[in-house]
Amino acid sequence: MVERFIATGIEFESVDMEVEHGNQYRIFSSIDKWKRLQYPPGTVVVVISSDSGYRPILRSLRESGFRTVNFSKPDWYKVLDLGPRLDPRQYGFAPILEEGRTVVRIPNGPSALAVKEAAWGLARYAVISQERKLMHNLRQYTVPLQRYMALMDLQERNERLFYKLLIDNVEELLPVVYTPTIGEACQKYGTIFRKPQGLYISLKEKGKILEVLKNWPQRGIQVIVVTDGERILGLGNLGCQGVGIPVGKLSLYTALGGIRPSACLPITIDVGTNNQKLLDDEFYIGLKQRRATGQEYSDFLHEFMRAVKQNYGEKVLVQFEDFANHNAFDLLSKYMDTHLVFNDDIQGTAPVVLAGLIAAQKVLGKSLADNTFLFLGAGEAGTGIAELIALKIPKETGAPIEETRKKIWLVNSKVYCLAANKNFLILFNFNLS
């Protein structure tokens, strides 16, 4: 009989997680879950814990014909002669054992080409950096979308290594993980789909959104990036295929901002799509119905915001990403006094542009008030920048903001020239001040 070796204990980050590696090895997060599968006597149970509470369980297992091995938390990896570098506690998993030898195979951990000398003979002789090997493999792809898919697979398999690559090669990989490649990935998401990413909340979960949020395994969420897919980049309504945007944006927040991945939650709100091409696409993964609007949409988003605050507290940041203009301004105005909310297009782009204008004053020898501003585009970014400039100039000159707005003009998609006056901003029901 081929024995199965079960590693179980308290080293797991996710409760009740079960990972199968072939037919011979399984890892379980609890003895109770392992016992329910009724493995035959003779199976070796590896318990990684110094907790005395495990002793009666071990004794019971031995009396039932099972063989047991117990390692204390600080010392077990030394007993296995793996060395601290391969401590799987870094990866949230226990090791997999085979009779008579240590298997150099740790889920979400180092590959067989990155092991210590203690494990030589069980893996290849050469020691090659995983980062170098993976970057070499990525560079073999000539199509950016292929690189994107490879990186998403890596993020799923080995999150730590994914961020190591992204941080060390940010100039090369940033255009792959986010714009411009992310646009094509969202357009083709249905055909390249492999595994769900983030949390998906559709109209069918109306009245149960809080329950859906509680299904997410991580509890210490600090940042939520949410999209309803109506205005993805400059590509229009992509429905739930816009999921790549919050996933990619949060990857940048981790790689460049240092936010823990476990504190980030990408969410896709699916209220349907008006994109007929997607509605006719057999591989579209979202609701195949026209978008909800008006009161139905408003009530659904209100339930979502209320559930977020109830589940994660009032300090969690909710970033509205790629909502259509009318909804983007309305959501900020509606929830800015009750929730910690942010819109990158409106509030994130504007300070960067204003900083550039302020820096340019030294070169031009002019103040902001000496200029007239014309914006090609009257969307979220354009109006956000216009309003921030209008707020900045009075702080320098003391002039009324109404006078400042007379020097700011915007051209919309219909080539209408609009003055950045108070009535224009009321049209969006939003003011940065």
- Please indicate, yes or no, if residue 124 is contained in any of the structural domains: no
Q: pLDDT confidence of 70, banded at 50, 70, 90?
A: low
Residues 32, 142 share a domain: no
**Averaged pLDDT, 349-364:** 91
- Please indicate, yes or no, if residue 296 is contained in any of the structural domains: yes
pLDDT recorded at residue 377: 80
Residues 335, 401 share a domain: no
Cα dihedral sign, 257-94-24-34: negative
- Please indicate, yes or no, if residue 433 is contained in any of the structural domains: no
CATH of the domain at 419: 3.40.50.720
Residue where one domain finishes, among candidates 312, 342, 372: 342
pTM for the predicted model, two decimal places: 0.69
- Please indicate, yes or no, if residue 128 is contained in any of the structural domains: no
Lowest mean pLDDT among 99-103, 108-112, 256-260, 311-315: 99-103
User: Under 8 Å CB-to-CB from 113, ≥6 apart: which residues?
Assistant: 123, 124, 126, 127, 128, 130, 133
Helix (H) or strand (E) holding 65: none
- Please indicate, yes or no, if residue 311 is contained in any of the structural domains: yes
d(CA 218, CA 98): 32
Instruction: Please say whether the beta carbons of 100 and 120 come within 8 A.
Output: no
Lowest mean pLDDT among 35-39, 135-139, 403-407: 35-39
Residues 375, 258 share a domain: no
Q: 134 versus 379: which is more confidently predicted? A: 134
Residues 309, 289 share a domain: yes
Residues 397, 315 share a domain: no
Give the active site residues: 178, 249
pLDDT recorded at residue 94: 38
Instruction: Please say whether the beta carbons of 245 and 182 come within 8 A.
Output: yes
Residues 309, 172 share a domain: yes
Residues 358, 334 share a domain: no
d(CA 341, CA 8): 41
CA-to-CA separations, 27 to 11, 20, 107, 148, in angstroms, rounded: 11, 7, 10, 30
CATH of the domain at 181: 3.40.50.10380
Structure tokens at 16: 């009740």
Q: pLDDT confidence of 26, banded at 50, 70, 90?
A: very low
- Which long-range contacts link 172-177 to residues 24+ away (Cβ below 8 Å)? 173/138, 173/147, 174/252, 175/144, 176/144, 176/147, 176/148, 176/151, 177/148, 177/151, 177/248, 177/251, 177/252
**Averaged pLDDT, 90-101:** 36
Nearest residue to 351 via CA among 326, 373, 381, 331: 381
- Please indicate, yes or no, if residue 226 is contained in any of the structural domains: yes
In tens, the pLDDT along 218-268 reads 889 999 999 999 999 889 999 999 999 999 999 999 999 999 999 999 999
Residues 184, 263 share a domain: yes
**Can you give the residue range of the structural domain that contains 286?**
135-342
Angle at 327 between CA 301 and CA 356, to 5 degrees: 125
In tens, the pLDDT along 174-193 reads 999 999 999 999 999 999 99
Residues 306, 405 share a domain: no
d(CA 127, CA 130): 9
Please tell me whether the peptide bond between 180 and the residue prior to it is cis, using omega within 30 degrees of 0.
yes
d(CA 342, CA 317): 7
Residues 193, 161 share a domain: yes
- Please indicate, yes or no, if residue 75 is contained in any of the structural domains: yes
User: Under 8 Å CB-to-CB from 86, ≥6 apart: which residues?
Assistant: 77, 104, 106, 109, 110, 115, 116, 119
Compute the mean pLDDT over every residue in the chain, rounded to the nearest whole number: 76
Instruction: Please say whether the beta carbons of 368 and 393 come within 8 A.
Output: yes
Number of domains in the chain: 3
d(CA 45, CA 151): 35
Residues 143, 54 share a domain: no
- Please indicate, yes or no, if residue 14 is contained in any of the structural domains: yes
Instruction: Please say whether the beta carbons of 8 and 29 come within 8 A.
Output: yes
Residue where one domain finishes, among candidates 342, 373, 391: 342
**Averaged pLDDT, 122-144:** 79
Residues 244, 286 share a domain: yes
Residue where one domain finishes, among candidates 325, 342, 359: 342
